[in-house]
Amino acid sequence: MVHFPPEPSLAGFHVDPLMIRRYRLDARWRGQEVADPFHRLYIVHDGEAWWSDAAGPRHLGPGRAVLVPALTRHAYRCQAVELTVVHFHAARGSQDPFPVGLHERPWTLGDDVVRRLHQACPPSGPAAGLIARRALLDLLIPFADLLALAEDPLRVPFRGVLAVIESEVPGQPVPIPALATMMGLGANQFTRRFRAAFGQTPVRYRRSRRLARAQHLLRDPAQTLERVAEVCGFSDAFHLNKVFRQDLGLTPSEFRRQAATW
């Protein structure tokens, strides 16, 4: 693989594009839950589609993109959509660079980047390989913040633990002693090291991730408060409301009204 240092946050990041296609799809595009050994990037140009993982569904329309890291269990469907799909391998050092789980971002890059990757993939020689890898790096810039985990040596050992937290079944969190055992630590030592790396305890981190998922779902008016609470691991809508007030200073309904104006 070829190493490029185009932006500081992508330094040491290696990519190999496998496939890129642009599709117009209808409701027959529907996948059962899968977990691929390669990374996927979807860019929505027109229409709308839904992706889902353990954290719940993601609704994407034009100008949005979703990154599905390798080994992330996910499903997808649409009514009618035009999108670009990219399959690729990636690494930072000896590890996969992205945390497991679906990651959604606004798509702010022009179609010229997609065209460059189309023209150079699959690479037919060294020059085409350089162009293809450079274009793929450009496509991944909106997700560069996810690589911060690999840049902090205190956080690197927790990659497996964070993947487990992200994939927990709602309402069935993995006990802290079990997470500690993954790293060969006792529960107290694990908590101290986690706080040093992330500035909060594992329990608070898990709660913040559940709230982040809830905020994402609340932007979809079709999601009821009861459903959001269920998907995000809260006992009921009252519990969701209580945690929202405590941590964010507003209710889920108030957040939803504000989000509608963003």
pLDDT at 1: 36
pLDDT at residue 149 in the model: 60
- For the chain, what are the domain ranges? 8-150, 156-259
CATH annotation of 8-150: 2.60.120.280
pLDDT in tens, 24-36: 999 888 876 777 7
List the structure tokens of 141.
């810039």
User: Any residues with CB less than 8 A from the CB of 163 and at least 6 apart, and which?
Assistant: 99, 100, 101
Indicate whether 78 pLDDT > 50.
yes
Collapse the DSSP code of 148 into the 3-class scheme (helix H, G, I; strand E, B; otherwise coil) and give the result.
helix
What pLDDT does 5 receive? 35
d(CA 201, CA 204): 5
Residue 152 has pLDDT above 70, yes or no: no
pTM: 0.56
Q: Mean pLDDT, to the nearest integer, of 182-205?
A: 91
CATH of 156-259, one of 1.10.10.60, 3.40.50.1010, 2.40.10.350, 3.30.70.1400: 1.10.10.60
Residue spans of beta strands (DSSP E) within the chain: 13-26, 30-34, 39-53, 56-60, 64-68, 74-92, 103-106
Gap between the Cα atoms of 182 and 91, Å rounded? 22
